[in-house]
Structure formats: C-alpha cells, structure tokens
Structure 1
Amino acid sequence: MRDGGQVLIWRWTGRTHHDASQCRVALRCALHELRIPDETIGEAVMAAWELTANALEHAHGPYEMRLIRKRSSFIFEIQDSNSFLPAMPSSHNGGAKTLMELPERGRGLQIVEAFARGRWGFRPSGGGAKVAWMEILTASGGAGVAKR
C-alpha cells in the first residue's frame, strides 16, 4: 500500500449480527497485515473501537471502516450515515481535564485522545454522512504529522 493508498477493512449495516466483535477482529487483522507493531495494535484497536462504538450508538448504517496510508502513519476512518458533527471535547489537543473530571458519557473519547494525541476528529463525508478519524503512528512515525 503506497502513501495515500486506501484499504477498505469492512462495510456493514445496522442488521449485521455480532458487529462489535467482527469490527475489532477485522481491524486487528488489517493492522497486523500492514505490519503495524504488535504493541501499537492493541491500543489502536481500543481507540478505533471507541470511535466505532459512537457511530453504532448515534447513527444508522451503512457503516464503513477504512485505513489510509500516510508517510509514517495510517489514518483510521469510520464512516456512518449521520451528518451531525459532534463538538470536540474540551480535552482535545491537550486540555487539562482528567478521566475523573469527565461525566459518565464521553470517556471513550478520552481513550481516543490519549492514543492519538490530538490527531483525530470528525469531518463531513458528503451524501449526509460523516467520518470519525484518528491517526495511527507506525514505529518510525514521530510528532508533527499533519492533521486531516
């Protein structure tokens, strides 16, 4: 997969059975095949699952998970059919809130923030859809990778 290349991991509808476990397995396998270091895969799957769980809870299918190759990273995307773009939490990009200060809901985005270190967000995707995305740095990746 060359820089800028995209791979579809999985596409499913709201009627797909066991979608949660299938999503995690599909992403884990894709990251493994792309030679993401094992120590990164577990954290990446956990953070990506939080974005996916939000899509499953707040939008209807169809859903689509993708990975896009960048120089020293991959961009994970989850697209859903809801055009509403959530507000970014105040902790985004290094805010001072801790897990203990957050309300019961929204803690999953803290996991995304901790993993992606501000390199994540939401964007419209046309046709009444939106994409939640986050960057997964590879072992050779460093700080300063441009945001999408």
Structure 2
Amino acid sequence: MQSDEASLFHDASLCGVLPKVALGFALSRQWWHSMEGIDLVLTPALSENPAPLDSLTYAACGSDLDRWVERGYRFAPFAVPANLAGQPSAVLPISLTDTGLPVAVQITDRPDGDALVLRVSNALEDAIGWAGLGLI
C-alpha cells in the first residue's frame, strides 16, 4: 500500500509532466531576467508564524493536492520563486516573537550568486549573533 504522498505521482505520465517542466523553465528565465540590476533580494522567510508540527502535511490538508500546494505556497511564498528558478537562497533567524518562535529572513541572489548569499548570511549572523537570539 502506498502512502498518500507516494500516490501523488503514481499516475503521472511523461506527457503530463513535460509541459509542466517546460513551464517551470520558462518561469525561471522570466524570474532571472526580473533580477537584472539587483544584487540581492531580502524577504521574510515565512508569511506567518511557524506552523504546528504536522499541520502542513498532505494528510493534514485532507489528501487534497490543490489544497496542500496552496497551503505550502501561502506559508512560504517567497521560497517558491527561488526554488523554482534554482536560485541560491539562505534563511536565517534574526529575532524571536514574544512567544519565543523564530522570525527569519530569506536572502536570494541570481543563479551563480551562491558566494554572495553565503557572505551576506555570514555577515548577518555575525551582526546579530546566535547568543543575542537566546538560542544558545
């Protein structure tokens, strides 16, 4: 017996997948061109507080693929373009909420900008410091 997640791809055919892959490449190229002249993009990591454990699973969304995808995109909307476009990104905690949950930022660069993402991430970590967040 397959898990709910495994059954998502059980009926996928090559003819059904290829147009989606082609669309993904087209959107990636558009996203890359939209970043011309921009060094980095700094966004919130999440659009809401961290979700309770197991609340974002396929099963938690009623095993409804559309609902599961929409919930994930709504939860972390800034990760989607970078992930689809294959752009280097890093997520770093920068603060804590009043209830002690981490608040994080996402740093994204153009393709092949990994080194800049890592340098800026390192500088941000040095400036804020993990001890300053009460995490250690």
Q: Normalized against structure 2, the TM-score is what?
A: 0.29
Structure having the higher Rg: 2
Give 1 or 2: higher strand fraction: 1
Higher helix proportion (structure 1 or 2): 2
TM-score normalised to structure 1 length: 0.27
